[in-house]
Amino acid sequence: MFSPCQGYRIEGLTDGDSNWSNQPVDPNLKVMPSIYRQNFYGKPHKTYMSYYSPLGPTSISVKKEKDEYYLLICTEKGFEEVRVPKATVYRPTGRKVLGMKPKSLHVITSVRPELTNYNLSKVAGKNIQDELLKVYEPEFSKVMKVGILYCKDGHHDENEMLKNISVNSSPEYIEFLNFLGEKVELKDFKNYSGGLDITNNSSGTHSIFSKYKDVEIMYHVSTMLPFFPSDPKQTERRKHICNDRIVIVFNDGKQAYNPNCIKSKNTQIIILVQPIKPIENSTIGISNDERKCDDTTPISSPVINNPGSPNINSSGTRYKVSIANKNEVPGYGPALPDAPVFNKDEAFRNFLYEKMIAGASSLRNSPVFTGKAQSDKAAVFLNIINKYSKNPTTTIEPL
């Protein structure tokens, strides 16, 4: 469990306090695919771009529906959805007489007249759709990087924890890593790498990776990152762990954990996991508060057969969980149960991933990251427009 700490909102029990603390969930917080993914991505539509249009850098996606045209207009100021009834779109007399459909330009200028007679670049292909997702969706909506810090019995300082190595870690810790995801080789890794080096092994040779629903998660595992005995601060490990917004701390001891142990402005959510096993079968001590939790029936559900998930066995392992959020982080679900004790099963794994994904989404509304996210999104948008709008077309064909 966590020790009381200013600047953090604790979900669960804190050391020396038997009163249960939960956090209100923001009712407006939803983890949803973007409008672009729902209505345009992978569906028939056309996209036009310009860097120097009267609207400034602009992307306009146009889709034909049954009785209307659906436009998604994106500029540096944001995006706007517009629906235009087909009957209201202007067509020159010649096109009407011949029964021809309006050009895309007619549809666009019916809602943005300032683009009349302005040529736009038509952009096609799967690549542009993938790139536009980076604009319409936050960077952590489909990929996430999460830190894992291993805390041995008696450790209280971040520097001590960053010096832990795999060969000296406990069976319970290794079991938890195997439960979280798959151990993968980093060299030439094809999925999301989370910033780890997949060419020269400068970030280590292996890591833990998982895919939950359609979200890819790469873990920065402290004991799998390079260890340099001559570096007291373990700079390489710190570089990754302290830049993660979400960090899982696996506490192998009975001591309380101080959230401020991680010296990072980026880390906003800390998930503390502590294994609970029968005393005679474990190397881990159990405090009086843990004994109280140990007598409580853990949260469980039938195991879901999922060939893609890690091996989840019936070893009897259980975990106690607490969560610390910086005060600025909006509330998010699912709520941590009272008592926060889980079997090592599919229900616990689902809870962890749902909690991490919802927590990452909540950070979009955190003041610490709102400005940076908008700035990053604007930079991505301008790069895409500049890349694809070099040579505007002289005509725009019919829809």
- As a whole number, mean pLDDT of residues 321-344 equals 89
Tell me the per-residue pLDDT of 280-293, one tens digit each, with 9 for 90 and over: 444 443 333 333 34
379 Cβ contact list (under 8 Å, min separation 6): none
Contact 349, 217 (CB under 8 A): no
Tell me the per-residue pLDDT of 346-364, one tens digit each, with 9 for 90 and over: 999 999 999 999 898 888 7
Per-residue pLDDT band for 365 (boundaries 50, 70, 90) equals low
| Other CB atoms within 10 A of residue 66 CB | 5
Token look-up 């995006």 returns 79
Give the pairing of strands 318-326 and 8-14: antiparallel
Percent over 90 (pLDDT), the chain? 32
Position 273 scores a pLDDT of 95
Position 298 scores a pLDDT of 43
Per-residue pLDDT band for 246 (boundaries 50, 70, 90) equals very high
Question: 188-199 burial string, b = 16+ CB within 10 Å, else e?
Answer: ebeebbbebebe
Worst-scoring range by mean pLDDT, 91-105, 164-178, 180-194, 246-260? 91-105
- As a whole number, mean pLDDT of residues 103-122 equals 87
- SS3 assignment, position 159: helix
Position 49 scores a pLDDT of 93
Domains and CATH numbers, the chain: 8-30+138-365 (3.40.50.11210), 35-136 (no CATH)
pLDDT at 369 over 80: no
180-185 CB contacts, 8 Å cutoff, 24+ apart: 180/148, 180/208, 180/210, 180/219, 180/310, 180/349, 180/352, 181/208, 181/209, 181/210, 181/217, 181/219, 181/310, 182/208, 182/209, 182/210, 182/310, 183/207, 183/208, 184/208, 184/209
